[in-house]
Copies of this chain bind each other. A is one copy, B any other.
Amino acid sequence: MTTNRSKKPEGEPVGIALLGFGTVGAEVFRLVQENADAFAHRIGGPVEIRGVAVHNKNKLRPGVPAELLTDDAKALVLRDDIDLVVEVIGGIDFPRELVLAALNAGKSVVTANKALVAAHADELAEAADHADVDLYFEAAVAAAIPVVGMLRRSLAGDKIQRISGIVNGTTNFILDAMESTGASYEDALAEATRLGYAEADPTADVEGHDAASKAAILASLGFYTRLTFDDVYCEGISKITADDITAANQAGYSIKLLAICERLVDEETGAESVNARVHPTLVPKDHPLASVSQSYNAIFVEAEAAGSLMFYGNGAGGNPTASAVLGDVIGAARNIVHGGRAPGENTYANLPIAEFGEVETRYHVDMEVDDRTGVLSVISGVFARHGVSLRTVRQEDGEETARLIVVTHAAKEAVLEDIVAALGELDEVKAVHSVIRLGV
């Protein structure tokens, strides 16, 4: 495939359509106006925002000339004087239609929309390839942390083994608050809502859906294999209790909601597969991810030659997201001015996606058991019969029952599920309070 696009005549501005004028859109608009001169130098030619699509064009938008505003986004995208479309609307169906229309019309697109990219990357990438234009989405994962560029470019000569990321600020804020103050999940969520870290309906964040979209994007980039949102196993933090946090702390761990993208290798055949998942994870306190506090994001990457790398920063917010969008705008505009094309989606490896049951993890199992001789033997027998050995066992005596916390060696998810079912059937086990995976 070679680039057939004609270059922009020298000095003629790159025409930009800005779709959406929320927190991010307004920042993008402001920064393009303020830094016009710097951007022109960095691109090799000027850019110009030629239209701003909004829902209500009669609403006052300070600093935006009225003639730029339109409520017909589709018509704006298709205008001849638009070379580059910046989508910061959010949602899926409407932006999908606009982004496809733009790409099909031969315009490059910058989007910050993780849900759109995670659900429809294949269709979007195909349209971009067909029109030989760029589709950029750095801001879709962890805002200003440049993990997309890093996977697409900097690590393009390496082989990614694993990506473990704190990619949702809301849940990190809640878990961090629970750990540092001893608060319950409900109280920490209420505090996050009060401070604006959680939305009125926090479901997408706390149930891990937002992180799962990002996991799909990271895994697709890292493994050159298409994974969509539906391929990602997803478990949120709403069942994590103050007790879980305390038990984890006592054992030397913090609980973090991790997006984990992993390359699996079959021990016998050497065949590779990949998996992406999101779940609460016990992270050793001396691991760099454990010290990521408040609403910060961090991505930990393990690559064959590079070793371990970590990227840390603001994973959300108008300014950091605008920074990532503008980095993409400059890249896309450079290519419009100079010719050339950014590395696009590339799923050549097309590795099979491993079932979640095939994933091997270690587990922290917290249960309430009868406080009498022989119980430990019965319970450890259940693990042993399933071929799973125990790494640590901790017992705390209660009044009539005891609390038993075991940490296993690596076992497959499917096996652990069987073990938990078997434990549930034992008279000696009153309750399995929690099963939390260990990671990194």
Contact = CB atoms under 8 A, between A and B. Distances in A.
Interface of A: 1-3, 7, 10, 27, 31, 35, 38-39, 41-42, 44, 138, 143-146, 149-150, 153-159, 224, 288, 291, 303-314, 317, 319-320, 322-331, 334-335, 337-341, 343, 346, 348-349
Q: How many copies does the complex hold?
A: 2
Nearest to A288: B312
A10 B2 contact: yes
Given A306-B144, A309-B313, A330-B157, A3 B340 contact: yes
A337 B343 CA distance: 12
A157 B312 CA distance: 19
A156 B327 contact: yes
B343 A27 contact: no
Contacts of A307: 144, 313-314, 317, 319-320
Nearest to A314: B307
Contacts of A335: 340
Most buried by B among A146, A305, A308: A305
Chain A binding site: helix, strand, loop or mixed by DSSP?
mixed
A310 B311 contact: yes
Given A149-B150, A157-B325, 17 more contacts: A35-B159, A38-B348, A42-B343, A144-B303, A150-B150, A154-B327, A155-B327, A156-B331, A157-B322, A157-B323, A291-B291, A306-B324, A307-B313, A309-B314, A310-B311, A335-B340, A340-B341
A343 B335 CA distance: 10
A160 B329 CA distance: 17
A130 to B, nearest CB: 15
A146 B150 contact: yes
Given A305-B320, A346-B41, A338 B3 contact: yes
